Amino acid sequence: MMRKSEYALWALLVVAVIAASSTVVSLARSPSAEAANSEIYDQLNLFGEVLERVRQGYVEEPENKELIKSAIDGMLAALDPHSAYLTPDGHEDMRVQTKGKFGGLGIEVTMEKGLVKVVAPIADTPADKAKIRSGDLITRIDDDEVLGMTLQKAVEKMRGEVGSPITLMIIREGEDEPMKFTFNRGLIEINPVKYNAEGDDVGYIRITTFNEQTTEKLVKAVNELKTELGSNLKGYIIDLRNNPGGLLDQAIAVSDAFLDEGAIVSTRGRNKEDVQKEFARKGDITDGKDLVVLINGGSASASEIVAGALKDLKRATVIGTQSFGKGSVQTIIPLGSTKGALRLTTARYYTPEGVSIQATGITPDKVVEEELPEDVKKREELIGTRGEANLRGHLKNEGNEDGKKEKSGSSSWIPEDKTKDTQLNYALELLRGTKSVDTELKQKAEAEAANKPEAAN
């Protein structure tokens, strides 16, 4: 245990480091800066005293490392819902997700009755070639029993160096005995872009996340759809529904891919003068074909940047329901290989028209809602839909400081059967010319005007 003298030395060192940092920033400090530093020192002393009291007097001996981590977590959670401390493992997992490549098996998994269940093997991956099937239950990974593991822990164990061996014990429906599979891990790519032709005239592109592969895969999708559909190609549907976001630079690059000019997004930090703007460069990969963007309550962050840019610059028609409303930018600050990283909210972002969507979201050009099944409808009526505005401690929208106009989020449900996907089918009709948003809006305005009582003269 750390004694009082040790605590005093520790506190003194922390204060000395902060003082040195302050000196680097400004050698000539104002009285207000001196007062602020004095307050920080007082609060650090308070923290040190509370820490020592807990370490010495709590009913069970606490872990020092866990105490400090919890204090850091609490500090960051008090800022906003998106700032957080990442452990070394958490930081590495984030790096894997944003890179989009890792050594693994190539299976989508979930947990069922304490075991890892294979949702589906990914085509042409080691798991697929080893004949792992959908519905298989993994009971053992190498020498470790799965029962009692968290899903995250099981996934970590299945990932590893490309070429390294792994052994899985699997229970398969219809087989009397558990089955043993031994094979080598391979290079797995998280494919963020899926696409297909809808009929013989529309290209459908779904972007599921914004990782380092997104723009490259998008360009490939557009080129292959061009080749497949040829002169019949009327336009593209860019489906951003339930896309939670990702890398800012990829959101900018994806927006740029559909534009020839214009401001894509601007970010503003704590200092109002610290504004960065990103502009499109000439080179629309679709050659100016019509675009329809689909969004819903699960479209957040980077996907809102793309939808906002294409909407404000009149490059696409946005269809669907109100987006999530995450209008802030997080910076990952590494703290060293053994210390993890800090994910800190450092800026708000604004659409080309200078609008912040923080806690408000993107409003579609045309609101089109899905026909919800009764169970989904009842659940949403009971618990409501969630967006940024519902998150505790979220940043306020600077344009709506009173919070009264905050609104974000909507249903994120999408039917598996495309024939029942109201939003997708509306987009198809729009591109094929059987529907017109302008005509519908005009008819709606005329109907509203006709129903208004005439003013008395």
DSSP 110-156: EEETTEEEEEEEPTTSHHHHTT--TT-EEEEETTEE-TT--HHHHHH
What pLDDT is stored for residue 448 in this prediction? 65
Please answer whether residues 295 and 242 qualify as being in contact, where contact means their C-beta atoms are separated by less than 8 angstroms: no
Query: Of the candidates 224, 272, 214, which has an alpha carbon nearest to the alpha carbon of residue 248?
Result: 214
Report which residue type is found at 143: D
CA dist 305 → 253, 295, 300, 447 (Å): 11, 12, 8, 34
CA dist 377 → 295, 321, 373, 411 (Å): 19, 15, 6, 9
Which residues sit opposite 236 in a β-bridge? 203, 291
Catalytically annotated residue among 117, 234, 311, 326: 326
CA dist 334 → 88, 189, 350 (Å): 9, 24, 26
Tokens of 105: 């098996």
Report which residue type is found at 399: G
Query: Of the candidates 310, 306, 353, 303, which has an alpha carbon nearest to the alpha carbon of residue 324?
Result: 303
Please answer whether residues 212 and 100 qualify as being in contact, where contact means their C-beta atoms are separated by less than 8 angstroms: yes
What pLDDT is stored for residue 166 in this prediction? 97
Cα–Cα distance for residue pair 12/402, rounded to 1 Å: 42
Catalytic status, residue 301: yes
Tokens of 295: 């969004």
What pLDDT is stored for residue 152 in this prediction? 82
User: Residue 80 phi/psi, 5° resolution?
Assistant: -170, 170
Cα–Cα distance for residue pair 11/22, rounded to 1 Å: 17
What pLDDT is stored for residue 402 in this prediction? 47
* Nearest-5° Cα angle at 308, 302 to 309: 95
Catalytically annotated residue among 83, 255, 266, 301: 301
Residues 6+ apart with CB under 8 A from 168: 132, 138, 140, 141, 180, 181, 182
Please answer whether residues 264 and 280 qualify as being in contact, where contact means their C-beta atoms are separated by less than 8 angstroms: yes
Report which residue type is found at 437: V
CA dist 118 → 135, 146, 397 (Å): 5, 13, 42
Element (H, E) at 256: helix 248-257
What pLDDT is stored for residue 256 in this prediction? 98
Tokens of 259: 């534009």
Catalytically annotated residue among 80, 256, 312, 365: 312
What is the pTM (predicted TM-score) of this model?
Answer: 0.81
How many residues are listed for the chain in this entry?
A: 457
What pLDDT is stored for residue 435 in this prediction? 82
Proportion of the chain in helix, strand, coil states, percent, rounded to 5? 35, 25, 40
Cα–Cα distance for residue pair 206/68, rounded to 1 Å: 42
Catalytic status, residue 326: yes
Please answer whether residues 356 and 397 qualify as being in contact, where contact means their C-beta atoms are separated by less than 8 angstroms: yes
Residues 6+ apart with CB under 8 A from 373: none
Question: What string of pLDDT tens digits covers the 457 residues of the chain?
Answer: 444 444 443 443 444 434 433 333 333 455 666 776 788 888 999 999 999 999 999 999 999 999 999 999 999 999 999 999 999 988 988 888 899 889 999 998 988 889 999 988 888 899 999 999 989 999 999 999 999 888 888 998 999 999 999 999 999 988 999 999 999 999 998 889 999 999 999 999 999 999 999 999 999 999 999 999 999 999 999 999 999 999 999 999 999 999 999 999 999 999 878 899 999 999 999 999 999 999 999 999 999 999 999 999 999 999 999 999 999 999 999 998 889 999 999 999 999 999 999 999 999 999 999 999 999 898 888 878 889 998 989 999 987 544 447 876 899 999 989 999 999 999 999 999 998 876 665 566 666 667 665 544 3
